[in-house]
């Protein structure tokens, strides 16, 4: 019997009709003899709305919070109505939704009064999205006559560290607990329906696994239960050669290795949470990305082996926006060992994450890339710490850049790939500001002005005939 963890993203559960469709899909697979755990994301757009509402609450904008809350309520009520036909099941779901939303309103009132939004309270707010969506999916499955049991990530046994907003699972305890709580149900043909994205610390405080974290929930459960496969259901045909919203001719990548998929995810292919692949890779559990709305399509299969066909050196291209470039220069840096270490140590201590680094051969300057939102803080921190020492002369910044990352295991040891890539970009008149190749040689990334980003992606897409 095949044991599959099925995760449905927000794009798969955007409305009551879609939830009904998802429930039918699950029912069909049950009929085919699959053992399943279902993991559910918040309804499309709800996590964003909750983030907005919590920030408005911190700023004391009571009316705005109220409006957002009302919209969220309407969305879930409408979805319930369209998804669940049986009156008493629907009523039960509606009542639980109501108490849940009351609780959420109280949390917002608290934030408004305190004027403070801690990472901990933010995670608590965000957990409501998945709690509500999963409840509706649970009710819809019951409506179809299936035996199901509802779990929050916490109840399912996902224990994390207390890094709110980006928590990591403590795999040993987590695996042990999930096995104890979930496995017996599978043997009894009961489908556990689990909220994606959320876990809890050892003290029981709710945490979230980072944006897109429902993928992570699915692979954590898969690893714990030694599942045969993880299926990530979404609204596109699989992991594609580029974001289909930028490159309309982007194609599905039928198969790639975990390493390639991780590189693509780290560099912004939103189709997968970057760390989500780790638990699956560790247990060698294949991950499939499939389209909820195009069941004929086999999707993308992510597996251990790196299959390199001579022709497809480049597999995918991704684009990360909202970045900034910082350039630190000064003759004092030449031949002074440890300058780079000092710079990155200062940034690290201030929790500023660096995405890409390059140093010129003359050693007289170091450039690096970071998120645009931390730019000001990074520049002032460096100025305060380093200018007075005379080690550096100037810190300059550009706040309108993006990174294009090109991924493919076949690039390793294939000469001339970089030259072809840079040639294609240059012919479009796009200027590269910085270039880096990861030591894995699985990717080459470069920096261009944000307005040139899409042009560069398209140029490479054409050059390598993806």
**Chain residues in the site for ligand ASP (CB under 6 A):** 9-10, 41-42, 47, 129, 196-197, 211-215
Residue 41 binds ligand ADP (CB under 6 A): yes
Q: In angstroms, rounded to a whole number, what is the distance separating the alpha carbons of residues 378 and 148? A: 50
Instruction: Count interface residues toward ligand ADP (CB under 6 A).
Output: 19
Q: Cβ neighbours of residue 414 under 8 Å, at least 6 residues apart? A: 313
Nearer Cβ to ligand ASP (215/452): 215
DSSP-assigned beta bridge partners for residue 253:
none
Residue nearest to ligand ADP (CB): 9
DSSP-assigned beta bridge partners for residue 394:
329
269 binds, among ligand ADP, Mg ion, ligand ASP, none (CB under 5 to 8 A by kind): ligand ADP
Residue 245 binds ligand ADP (CB under 6 A): yes
Q: Which of 93, 240, 285, 466 binds ligand ADP (CB under 6 A)?
A: 240
14 binds, among ligand ASP, ligand ADP, Mg ion, none (CB under 5 to 8 A by kind): none
**Where does 144-276 have alpha helices with state H?**
153-156, 171-187, 214-225, 258-266
240 binds, among ligand ADP, ligand ASP, Mg ion, none (CB under 5 to 8 A by kind): ligand ADP
Options 59-67, 234-242, 277-285, 305-313: segment touching ligand ADP (CB under 6 A): 234-242
Residue 9 binds ligand ADP (CB under 6 A): yes
Here's the x/- map for Mg ion, 205-234, by CB under 5 A: it reads as -------x----------------------
Least Å from the CB of residue 321 to ligand ADP? 12
111 binds, among ligand ADP, ligand ASP, Mg ion, none (CB under 5 to 8 A by kind): none
Here's the x/- map for ligand ADP, 268-307, by CB under 6 A: it reads as -xxx------------------------------------
Nearer Cβ to ligand ADP (302/366): 302
Q: Which of 235, 363, 383, 463 binds ligand ADP (CB under 6 A)?
A: 235
Comparing C-alpha atoms, which of 244, 233, 152 is closest to residue 198? 152
Q: Cβ neighbours of residue 109 under 8 Å, at least 6 residues apart? A: none
For 9-147, strand residue ranges (E) read: 35-40
DSSP code of residue 372: G
Cα-to-chain-centroid distance, residue 412: 27
For residue 366, what is the enclosing H or E element? strand 365-371
Angle between helices 62-83 and 46-58 (to 10 degrees): 160
Nearer Cβ to ligand ADP (92/235): 235
For 249-352, strand residue ranges (E) read: 255-257, 287-291, 300-303, 316-329
Q: In angstroms, rounded to a whole number, what is the distance separating the alpha carbons of residues 216 and 365? A: 39
Least Å from the CB of residue 70 to ligand ASP? 20
Nearer Cβ to ligand ADP (36/111): 36
The SS3 of residue 298 is coil
Nearer Cβ to ligand ASP (212/316): 212
Residue 9 binds Mg ion (CB under 5 A): yes
For 142-254, strand residue ranges (E) read: 148-151, 191-195, 198-200, 206-208, 229-234
The SS3 of residue 105 is helix
Which tokens go with 222? 């898969």
Greatest alpha-carbon span in the chain = 76
- Judged by the rule CB under 6 A, the positions of this chain that interact with ligand ADP are 9-12, 41, 212, 234-236, 239-240, 242-245, 269-271, 316
């Amino acid at each position: 019997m095949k044991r599959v963890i099925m995760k449905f993203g927000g794009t798969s559960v955007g409305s009551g009709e879609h939830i009904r469709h998802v429930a039918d899909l699950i029912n069909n697979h049950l009929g085919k003899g699959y053992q399943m755990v279902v993991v559910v994301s918040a309804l499309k757009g709800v996590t964003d709305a909750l983030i907005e509402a919590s920030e408005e609450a911190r700023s004391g904008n009571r009316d705005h919070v109220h409006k957002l809350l009302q919209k969220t309520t309407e969305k879930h009520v409408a979805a319930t109505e369209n998804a669940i036909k049986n009156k008493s099941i629907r009523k039960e779901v509606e009542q639980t939704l109501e108490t849940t939303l009351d609780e959420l309103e109280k949390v917002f009132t608290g934030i408004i009064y305190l004027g403070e939004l801690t990472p901990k309270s933010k995670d608590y707010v965000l957990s409501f999205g998945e709690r509500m969506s999963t409840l509706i999916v649970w009710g819809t499955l019951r409506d179809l006559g299936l035996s199901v049991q509802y779990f929050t990530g916490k109840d399912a046994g996902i224990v994390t560290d207390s890094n709110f907003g980006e928590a990591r699972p403590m795999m040993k305890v987590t695996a042990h607990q999930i096995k104890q709580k979930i496995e017996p149900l599978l043997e009894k043909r009961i489908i556990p329906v689990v909220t994606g994205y959320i876990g809890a610390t050892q003290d029981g405080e709710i945490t979230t696994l980072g944006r897109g974290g429902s993928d992570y929930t699915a692979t954590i459960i898969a690893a714990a239960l030694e599942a045969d496969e993880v299926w990530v259901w979404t609204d596109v045909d699989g992991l594609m050669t580029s974001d289909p919203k930028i490159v309309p001719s982007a194609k599905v990548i039928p198969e790639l290795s975990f390493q390639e998929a991780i590189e693509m995810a780290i560099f912004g292919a939103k189709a997968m949470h970057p760390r989500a692949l780790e638990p699956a890779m560790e247990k060698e559990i294949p991950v499939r990305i499939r389209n909820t709305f195009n069941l004929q399509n086999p999707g993308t299969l992510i597996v251990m082996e790196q299959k390199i066909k001579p022709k497809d050196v480049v597999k995918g291209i991704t684009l990360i926006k909202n970045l900034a470039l910082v350039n630190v220069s000064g003759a004092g840096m030449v031949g002074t060992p440890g300058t780079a270490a000092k710079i990155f140590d200062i940034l690290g201590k201030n929790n500023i994450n660096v995405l890409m680094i390059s140093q010129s051969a003359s050693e007289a300057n170091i450039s690096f890339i970071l998120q645009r939102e931390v730019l000001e803080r990074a520049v002032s921190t460096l100025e305060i710490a380093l200018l007075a020492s005379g080690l550096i002369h100037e810190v300059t910044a550009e706040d309108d850049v993006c990174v294009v990352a090109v991924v493919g295991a076949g690039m390793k040891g294939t000469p001339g790939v970089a030259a072809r890539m840079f040639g294609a970009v240059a012919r479009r008149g796009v200027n590269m500001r910085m270039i880096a190749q990861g030591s894995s040689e699985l990717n080459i990334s470069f920096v261009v002005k944000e307005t040139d980003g899409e042009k560069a992606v398209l140029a490479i897409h054409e050059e390598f005939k993806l």
